[in-house]
Amino acid sequence: MRRSSRLNGTRGTNSSALPDDEEDPSAGLSGDESDASIPPARKRRKVKGTSNMQKTSHKPRARGRLAALPQMPLDILFEIFRSMHPRDLLHVSRTTKVLRAVLMNKSSIWIWKDSYAAASDLPPIAEGMTVPQFVSLAYDRICHFCSTPGVTSIAWAARIRYCKKCMLNESNFVSESEMRRQEIPGRISHIYIYRTSFASVLPCIRIQVKRREQRIFPTASVDELVKAYQHDEVDSKTWEEKQQWIESKEAHNAEMNKHAVLCETWDSKRQAGRDDELQQVRDIRKAEIVRRLSDLGWSAEIDHLGLEVFGKHKLVRKTQPVSEKTWLQIKGPLLEYMEEVKTERLAKEKSDAIRSRYDLLVETYREYRLNKPFRTVLPNVGDIVTIKEVVRIIEDTPYDQDVTESDLRAVLDAIPQSYFEDWRKRCDAALVKVLNSVRRKKPATKADLKLATTVFKDKDGGSDLLYPHVLVSDEVTAVYGSIEPRDDDPSTLCRHRPWSAEHLGVSYRHIAKPLVLLAGLDPRKATAEDMDQMDLWFVCTNGLRWSRRCAMTWRYAVGLDERNLKFELLGGQGTMQARQHYTRQSIPYFRDRDSLCAHCEMRFSTSESLEDHLGKAHTLTTITKSDYVLDLAFDSGIIGSVYLPELSEVESGEA
């Protein structure tokens, strides 16, 4: 029924605002329906001890934009209400007591129905619920148990919203196993003993408990089922009547679940649409913030960072338009953030540039060494990175500029020969100092470094090292992968530290001297070159590592890591067999080394490239040691042993 009278006042229910034949607001929608329209968190309590005089003494509340709404004619007001979306109508009913009294009156039910009918995007009203109740369930993001805001979990069949904390509260939900232990639910389960679960007669929620799915049921729904069981006096019914009673509950629960599926589908679509809507708001906010920051000179920095990353900042991803007031609030924090982003970017660019330049230096220096005379003793890259000209081009070149291989090669070519000579002198002096660190009959000199009996040992472990291999061995300079690269430590980036005798000592195994004696030479005068020229082969008589008779060069024997080893010198026939087997061995695998083709003197840094060259350029099908020469790294004795064939008689010689 349309009315032309006006509503007076914006707070409290004024009797003159309602026609004489209108029902009192308290007799409007049922108490449950009325309460459903007000979120629990918004219900207010009366403050005891506050008089009317005290209330009226407060400063009058400012009238807002909707203050004149109750003054409008009812027919216009009702027309506006019925055109509203049910969600908006629910919010309006909470603005003032007068509007609540009108909209929650039974005579206003047609407004809610027209509003709901006009909203084609909503699912059907659940059975037994009024429009305000159902709209509150659908849109009020408040836990029905504790009034926590921002709750999205809904049990549509049970018609309740719940937070995680309340879901785990046993007073709100009960597990299926607990229900079976209760008296009446236990009787009910006996009736449908052949059915699977209480879920057939009650709305349930499925949760994960220790990787297993478990059903829990709203306590209120369980109580209703128990009351219905008692009211219908199911205990006094026959078995067939009990079955019919259960089937009726199952049919009712099936209808609730069917409606719940519709609601869940609607809610999913609504959330998806809402997400798109919110994303549009975020995009607009982000674009406005980017515009304002670009006006302040941060456009390039935002491009470096990327709009996607920038949009994840907590001040950018909000769903709130950027007003002047908002901008003044977020401007300072955003400028601080951009300064941090710029600092981090520059630091990363510096780190990336430094690391890539040192990587390139390692490659360039490898090629540089290949252009030096073969088997020249040169410092490792760990020493090269200490040269000030090298440090300057890597560290001081602006990080937004490229340092090319040719740039580095020019710096390396400019290193004077005197640098390498001085480096060699310093290393030789350090090794002589190591020799003199042990008790000797007379002080060592530089000439003692070339003796075959001069053997060094890394104090931290490793193989015995002869001179001059000790100057180029990775065991002395390598920085292994377990050490994290650091931008402030070039040695960790190049994986080599400068050469140092700090961790070197004199070998305590004393293998070289017996071998020199077996060769018939004087240990005080015989050099490593003298032993190499004799090309003698030895057999270890008490080693534990060989199951067969093994012949070895003197360098290989010196590198053995056992102590108190005894050797024999192979005679003519054994030596001939050892040399024949050794020359037929395949090229040992290597990378980042230096090798020489014995036919054309081309240089190669990997075993694959050397083998490919010998096969294609020199048409060799069988490659022997006479076809190539390896660099100083292989003077360590890592190769130099062969298993001898079984002989009926092996010649052996004596020193």
Helix, strand, coil percentages (3-state) for the chain, rounded to 5, are 50, 10, 40
Give 206's pLDDT tier (boundaries 50, 70, 90): confident
User: What is the arithmetic mean of pLDDT over 379-387?
Assistant: 94
Report pLDDT for 194.
54
pLDDT digits (tens, 9 = 90+) for 25-59: 333 344 444 444 444 444 444 444 444 444 445 55
Q: Which of 29-43, 208-222, 356-370, 561-575 has the lowest mean pLDDT?
A: 29-43
Backbone angles phi, psi at 424, to 5 degrees: -65, -40
Q: Give SS3 for 333.
A: helix
Could you tell me the two tokens for 32? 């449950």
- The pLDDT of 232-248, averaged and rounded, is 88
pLDDT of residue 1: 37
Would you say residue 131 has pLDDT above 70? yes
The rounded Cα 506 to chain-centroid distance in angstroms is 48
Q: What is the mean pLDDT of residues 538-563?
A: 81
Cis peptide before 468 (omega within 30 of 0): yes
Q: What percent of the chain has pLDDT over 90?
A: 45
What pLDDT does residue 542 have?
82
Whether 253 shows a pLDDT value over 50: the answer reads yes
Token duo for residue 342? 């710029």
CB 523 within 8 A of CB 510: no
Angle of helix 219-231 relative to helix 183-191, nearest 10 degrees? 70
Given a contact cutoff of 8 angstroms between Cβ atoms, the answer to whether 142 and 39 are in contact is yes
Tokens of 272: 């998806």
Is the pLDDT at 8 greater than 70? The verdict is: no
Mean pLDDT of the chain: 84
Measured between alpha carbons, how far is 406 from 412 in angstroms, rounded to an integer? 10
Question: Which pair of structure tokens corresponds to residue 512?
Answer: 């070289």
Checking if the pLDDT of 11 tops 70, the result is no
* Cα 568 from Cα 571, distance rounded (Å): 9
Mean pLDDT of 323-339: 95
